[in-house]
Amino acid sequence: MFVFSPDGKLKTHDLLCPDCRIFWVFFGFDMVVISGADQVLQALWKSSDFFHGTVVMSMALWGTVLGSVYGHLPTDRFGRKKSLLFVGLLFSISAIGSAFANDPYTFAAARFIGGIGIGISTIAAPTYISEIAPASKRGQLVGLYQFFIVAGILSAFLSNYLFADFGANAWRWMLGIQALPALLFSVLTLQLTESSRTTTQTQASTQRIFDPKYRRILWLTFFIAFFNQFSGINAFLYYAPRIFELAHLSNNAAAISSIGVGVVNLIFTMLGLVLIDRFGRKSLLKIGGMGYVISLTLVSLYFGFDWTGSSVTYFFFAFIASHAIGQGAVIWVFISELFPNQLRASGQAFGSTVHWVLAALIPALMPWLFKVIGATSVFAIFLFMMLIQLFWIRYYVPETKGKTLEELNQELL
């Protein structure tokens, strides 16, 4: 659990609490586990590409949008701890409901509930950690949020692979297994200690994040979330097996390559955590941004010239590594640092909303876009957006490492 010493300072080793790790792993698992059921569910319910993408596959993401829009309300009113407890309950309901669904609408409703939980968590968890972490370790400690999400993503790919041979109902096992860690998290969350900044800030503040003086912070928050999703990361994670099959890999090779994606993601996220408080947020964004451009260029050429062979696997590994060490390691740290204490949850909600609206829209359109404009054009669009991101990083992104939240508040306003 999170513990404070008599002088009010956080004992930082307690940030590695087991209940937090369970929650973050579950978050990542829930995001990606649907990839194993993707084509099975489309065939089972005979859905069109458009319906399958926008309803069956993306309903959890639309729930995440709702959770991120309104998640600051319980986070501020009831506190970070109670909000996370509520999230655990939503995840449990979602896991059980989706596993027992017999039609696409019930399935989508259950996934929507889980998505609400994800949306709230992207506000409550980074806000909570940033408030209790010391400035010198804030990047690593908030970054642990991303690390365990990535661990959950790897767990999802592994779980899907292991359950793949369970017959026609394998997808039920893939989704239902989530209920166990969700219930355990709900129980263990009761041990958490509430953030001291939550209990001391002025709740009656009349300030709003859309006041003109916060314009710079809002644009920084908007663009880091915007470019995060226009890299194509969620589109790839949600449809990794399908994309590898489009690249002419066998079903087994596609499944194994998906596991490789999870392993690379985990390794480079760990590297990002080691470097984020040494090199800084801006440097990692630059490194990751250049990696995006190189890897997406190779992916676009692979599909454009109809290359064959396993090289596409390594191109995507490079893409995932670039994301993990750059945007993946930085985004939630960066957003959680920008806003003053009394507006941090609202600011986190704004960034999460932009992130999850795009995370819902882009993957929702992928099956349809692959059919209409083809994989080459899809990845070329992502490449173009990453070129623009490099310009934005170079000229507009400030460095935030090693400064207290209050110091940053003074510098950015």
Please write the tens of the pLDDT for every residue from 201-246: 544 455 688 888 899 999 999 999 999 999 999 888 888 888 988 8
Summarize the confidence of residues 320-338 as an average pLDDT. Answer: 91
- Per the CB < 8 A criterion, the answer to whether 238 and 369 are in contact is no
pLDDT band for 187, please (50, 70, 90 cuts).
Answer: confident
The CA distance from 244 to 236, in Å, is: 10
What pLDDT was estimated at residue 194?
Answer: 64
How many Cβ atoms from other residues are within 10 Å of residue 270's Cβ? 17
Exposed, middle or buried: residue 376 (CB in 10 Å: 0-12, 13-18, 19+)? middle
Three-state SS at 330:
helix
Strand residue runs (E) in 113-187: none
Amino acid making up residue 94: S
Mean pLDDT estimate for the chain: 83
DSSP label at residue 324 = I
Model confidence at 259: pLDDT above 70: yes
Is pLDDT larger for residue 32 or for residue 170? 170
- Per the CB < 8 A criterion, the answer to whether 53 and 181 are in contact is no
pLDDT band for 291, please (50, 70, 90 cuts).
Answer: very high
Distant-in-sequence contacts of 1-7, Cβ < 8 A, 24+ apart: 1/191, 1/192, 1/193, 2/132, 2/192, 2/193, 3/193, 4/132, 4/193, 4/196
- Degrees, nearest 5: CA angle 327-366-60: 70
Q: Which of 37-51, 180-194, 272-286, 315-329 has the lowest mean pLDDT?
A: 180-194
Q: Which of 43-47, 72-76, 375-379 has the lowest mean pLDDT?
A: 72-76
Q: Which of 90-94, 138-142, 290-294, 392-396 has the lowest mean pLDDT?
A: 138-142
- Per the CB < 8 A criterion, the answer to whether 269 and 324 are in contact is yes
Amino acid making up residue 30: D
Model confidence at 3: pLDDT above 50: no
The CA distance from 332 to 131, in Å, is: 13
> Distance from first CA to last CA of the chain, Å, rounded?
34
Is pLDDT larger for residue 75 or for residue 269? 269
Q: Which residues contact 200 (CB under 8 A, 6 or more apart)?
A: none
What pLDDT was estimated at residue 377?
Answer: 96
* Tens-digit pLDDT profile for residues 348-372: 789 888 988 898 899 889 989 999 9
Model confidence at 7: pLDDT above 80: no
Exposed, middle or buried: residue 98 (CB in 10 Å: 0-12, 13-18, 19+)? buried
Model confidence at 5: pLDDT above 60: no
How many Cβ atoms from other residues are within 10 Å of residue 101's Cβ? 19
Is pLDDT larger for residue 329 or for residue 198? 329
Summarize the confidence of residues 291-314 as an average pLDDT. Answer: 94
Q: Which of 10-19, 227-236, 266-275 has the lowest mean pLDDT?
A: 10-19
Q: In the chain, what percentage of residues exceed pLDDT 70?
A: 85
For the chain, give the longest Cα–Cα distance: 65
The CA distance from 212 to 323, in Å, is: 32
- Per the CB < 8 A criterion, the answer to whether 321 and 291 are in contact is yes
Considering only CA atoms, give the Rg of the chain: 20
Summarize the confidence of residues 153-172 as an average pLDDT. Answer: 84
Which one, of 240, 259, 224, 254, lies nearest residue 350 by Cα?
224
Q: Return the structure tokens found at 305.
A: 């010239």
Give the best-scoring range by mean pLDDT among 149-163, 208-222, 290-304: 290-304
Q: In the chain, what percentage of residues exceed pLDDT 90?
A: 33
H runs (alpha helix) in 339-373? 344-372
- Per the CB < 8 A criterion, the answer to whether 238 and 385 are in contact is no
Cα-based distances in Å from 362 to 208, 239, 359: 29, 11, 6
Cα-based distances in Å from 165 to 30, 159, 172, 253: 20, 11, 12, 15
Exposed, middle or buried: residue 144 (CB in 10 Å: 0-12, 13-18, 19+)? buried
Q: Return the structure tokens found at 258.
A: 């998906």
How many Cβ atoms from other residues are within 10 Å of residue 165's Cβ? 7
Q: Return the structure tokens found at 198.
A: 């939550």
What pLDDT was estimated at residue 12?
Answer: 43
Strand residue runs (E) in 54-122: none
Model confidence at 57: pLDDT above 60: yes
3-state secondary structure 75-100: HHHCCHHHHHHHHHHHHHHHHHHHHC
pLDDT band for 27, please (50, 70, 90 cuts).
Answer: low
Block residue for tokens 């999400």: 149
Model confidence at 122: pLDDT above 80: no
